[in-house]
Amino acid sequence: MQGKVTFFTAILLIAGGASATVDPIMEDVLITGTLSPQRALTSSVSVLDSQQIKALNKTTVADLLKTLPGLLVEEQGGPGGLTAVSIRGGESNFTLVLVDGIAVNDPTNSRGGGFDFANLNPNMVDRIEVVRGAQSAIYGSDALAGVINIITRKPTQGHNQDVYVELGEHDYSEVGLSALGSVGDVNYTLELATRDDGEPVPGSSRENNSAHLRLGWQPVAGHDINLGYRYIDGDRTSYPEQSGGPQYALFDEQDKSDYTQKIVYLGWAAQISSVWRSAVTANRFEAKDRYQSPGIPPYFEVPPNSADTEFTRDHLQWINSLQLAQGYSVNVGADYRHEDGQSEGFIEYFGDLNPTDFDLDRDTAGFFAGVTASPTDALLLQGSLRYDNPEGFDSETSFQAGVQYTVGSGVAVAANWGEAYKLPSFFALGHALVGNPDLKPEQGESWDLGVTWEAADVLRLAATVFHNDFRDLVDFDDETFRNVNRSNVQTRGVELQVDWQPVTAFSLRSQATYTDIDVKNEDTVLTGRPEWTASAVAQWHITEQLNVALDYVYTGRQWAASRHTGAEVTEELNDFGRLDWVLRWQPVAAWQVQLSADNLLNEHYETAVGFNAPQREFRIGVVFSH
């Protein structure tokens, strides 16, 4: 095994990169949920572009995602608490999270690979693409419920440099700079940022540092080479999960975590002929986390615990795109992944330290193909097939198919069906106390049916019904005190969207999502997933120098669990609505001033039992661009 790892590392350093970072992609092209960039997809897709992201000026990527349909965001009080995102009612670790096409889920964590969105800096994000529904036919393991791709800024012609500073209440601060541009056949991106979220909620804090370097070179026409490095480090504190938070916890001891994430990528793409494009890409993702928790004293149901984890994923991919004829294209390729996860930790029972160590690795080889056909202007057909051979598990074959048809009078209908699977996380397999090496992969199947109506040039309406069937879910069994496969969860619902732009200077986009979750053969409820969510975002360009954005997010009643009494208690949290406001003023061409109010109406609500959300906060920022 060591020989294979060393060989692959050598390949990584001289030959590969991330598929989504091969070359700059225009904003009207979708790069997620497909094997090559497409102008349209049959899958259910939502996009936040750079203009929308800048206008909202959020402090977290999770706050941006709340404005999109089908996404349920679970938070734990202030900035130090973990932030998880569920797609259409699935577990948070059923969402594959990508940064520039590179998977960043960490299977060594106790959330089974769920991603903490509070780690990402929104000011370094240019575009977000979300594809809902099973996506293993494209991405292999982990994309049971869907994919979220965070896309960073790419260089354009010329040179552009930005410096920004933002300060806020409760000691919030952020400083960043960026330089993007091109010189002849070489282009570059350099971004640096540091952020301190302060302490808007007692005991909850987070500090982050981020860096991104990207170099691109076109040695000859039709050939593109890209090299990049991304770095994040930070530390956070928070009252332990389910401890009752600042309201009910009997002791003011916090969880503490120091984390580091690194990505390196290298890629080469070549236009072999007028109908054939080939890309060899590779990347390495590394994550380290040092976590300490006091548990939930004075009880022993959640005792003190600690874990130092390290995870590495190497990914090598080759994709060939063939344009067979006008409106017909095929993509075929293969990839190889090596994952290595280690953890050293303990759980303390009555003064005894019980080790929870594990050290696991696995290889997965995959082969895939996809086809896009548009026999007429009104009809779009897409399908994908993928075969994976993961080490230590049976092989997996995943299918996906979709159709989109424009009926007429601005009405289009789309239908999609797909299969997905998720390999058990290293934590679920190897944890010395609760791990089970005999776990099977979790399975999923989904379909959705949607209709879109361009009622007028300024009005667009859309509705989508969806259904997911998740099987063999990993769950903790109290009797055997270990993880087992047993749960069967079905989710169904509807997503409604309205986009309205009556005049050039004003736009309104809104959505509402209903999600019904049914845990089969069990009298239980799933926490952190409300039945109803909704949002409305209004942007108004008052003048060329003055812009205003308002966004309102509604979250319905949801169940939450707590153990602050010494036993697990589940209660329903009240629904709430939050209004945020941003004013942007550009006094001169190179300078911009931003005033932001988070929770403008000072809504009081809980995101978890005993964890109050931050109250109204003001921030002011200055941006210099040249």
Q: Measure the CA–CA gap between 476 and 599, rounded to whole angstroms.
A: 37
Tokens 């981020």, residue located: 210
Structure tokens at 8: 């692959």
Q: Provide the percentage of residues in the chain whose pLDDT is more than 70.
A: 96
Q: Measure the CA–CA gap between 174 and 51, rounded to whole angstroms.
A: 20
Q: Measure the CA–CA gap between 239 and 255, rounded to whole angstroms.
A: 6
SS3 track for 461-526: EEEEEEEEEEEEEEEEECCCCEEEEEEEEEEEEEEEEEEEEEECCEEEEEEEEEEEEEECCCCCCC
Structure tokens at 379: 């009809």
pTM listed for this prediction: 0.94
Backbone angles phi, psi at 270, to 5 degrees: -135, 135
Q: What does the pLDDT look like over 381-431, one tens digit per residue?
A: 999 999 999 999 999 999 999 999 999 889 999 999 999 999 999 999 999
- Provide the 8-state DSSP code for 11: H
What residues contact residue 402 under an 8 Å CB cut-off, 6+ apart? 41, 42, 43, 381, 382, 383, 414, 415, 416, 417
Q: What does the pLDDT look like over 148-192, one tens digit per residue?
A: 999 998 887 789 999 999 999 999 999 999 999 998 899 999 999
Backbone angles phi, psi at 389, to 5 degrees: -125, 85
List 513's β-bridge partners, or say none: 495, 533
- Provide the 8-state DSSP code for 410: T
Find the CATH number of the domain harbouring 585.
Answer: 2.40.170.20
Please say if the pLDDT value at position 583 is more than 50. Answer: yes
Mean residue pLDDT of the chain comes to 91
Backbone angles phi, psi at 219, to 5 degrees: -65, -40
What residues contact residue 480 under an 8 Å CB cut-off, 6+ apart? none
Could you give the dihedral angle defined by the CA atoms of residues 525, 528, 533 and 536, in that order, rounded to the nearest 10 degrees? Answer: 180
Counting the structural domains of the chain, the total is 1
Q: What does the pLDDT look like over 432-454, one tens digit per residue?
A: 888 999 999 999 999 999 999 99
Position 34 scores a pLDDT of 84
Please say if the pLDDT value at position 507 is more than 70. Answer: yes
Q: What does the pLDDT look like over 5-25, one tens digit per residue?
A: 333 333 333 333 333 333 333
Structure tokens at 231: 């770095």
User: For residue 349, what pLDDT band results from cuts at 50, 70 and 90?
Assistant: confident
- Nearest 5°: CA angle at 109, between 103 and 110? 135
Backbone angles phi, psi at 519, to 5 degrees: -90, 110
CA 192 to mean position of chain CA atoms: 21
What residues contact residue 194 under an 8 Å CB cut-off, 6+ apart? 174, 175, 176, 207, 208, 209, 210
Q: Measure the CA–CA gap between 449 and 447, rounded to whole angstroms.
A: 7
Question: Span 265-285, mean pLDDT?
Answer: 95
**DSSP, residue by residue, 268-304:** EEEEEETTEEEEEEEEEEEEEEEEEE--STT-SSS--
Q: Measure the CA–CA gap between 594 and 620, rounded to whole angstroms.
A: 6
Number of H helices, E strands in the chain: 6, 34
What residues contact residue 358 under an 8 Å CB cut-off, 6+ apart? 341, 342, 343, 426, 427, 429, 430, 431, 432, 435
Which has the closest alpha carbon to 365: 342, 395, 340, 405? 395
What is each CA distance from 198 to 164, 172, 239, 248, 601, in whole angstroms?
18, 5, 15, 22, 21
What residues contact residue 433 under an 8 Å CB cut-off, 6+ apart? 347, 354, 356, 481
Counting every residue written for the chain, the total comes to: 626
Position 409 scores a pLDDT of 87
**Structural domain harbouring 466:** 2-625
Q: Which residue has the higher pLDDT, 16 or 129?
A: 129
Position 2 scores a pLDDT of 40
Q: Which residue has the higher pLDDT, 626 or 246?
A: 246
Structure tokens at 497: 């969207």
What is each CA distance from 170 to 21, 167, 173, 201, 616, in whole angstroms?
37, 9, 9, 9, 11
Position 259 scores a pLDDT of 97
Position 290 scores a pLDDT of 96
Neighbours of 541 (CB within 10 A): 17
Q: What letter represents residue 145's amino acid?
A: A
Backbone angles phi, psi at 405, to 5 degrees: -135, 130
- Nearest 5°: CA angle at 485, between 365 and 295? 105
Neighbours of 517 (CB within 10 A): 20
What is each CA distance from 83 to 59, 96, 196, 211, 369, in whole angstroms?
13, 15, 17, 22, 34
Tokens 């001289």, residue located: 14
Position 482 scores a pLDDT of 87
In angstroms, what is the C-alpha Rg of the chain? 24
- Provide the 8-state DSSP code for 23: S
Which has the closest alpha carbon to 313: 106, 3, 7? 106
Could you give the dihedral angle defined by the CA atoms of residues 213, 214, 219 and 221, in that order, rounded to the nearest 10 degrees? Answer: -160
Question: Span 77-101, mean pLDDT?
Answer: 93
Pairing of strands 71-74, 44-48: unpaired
Q: Residues 95, 329: contact at Cβ < 8 Å? A: no
CA 115 to mean position of chain CA atoms: 7
Structure tokens at 225: 């080479």
Position 594 scores a pLDDT of 96
What is each CA distance from 384 to 95, 145, 319, 330, 360, in whole angstroms?
19, 16, 13, 10, 31
Q: Residues 588, 580: contact at Cβ < 8 Å? A: no
User: For residue 206, what pLDDT band results from cuts at 50, 70 and 90?
Assistant: very high
Residue 556 three-state SS: coil
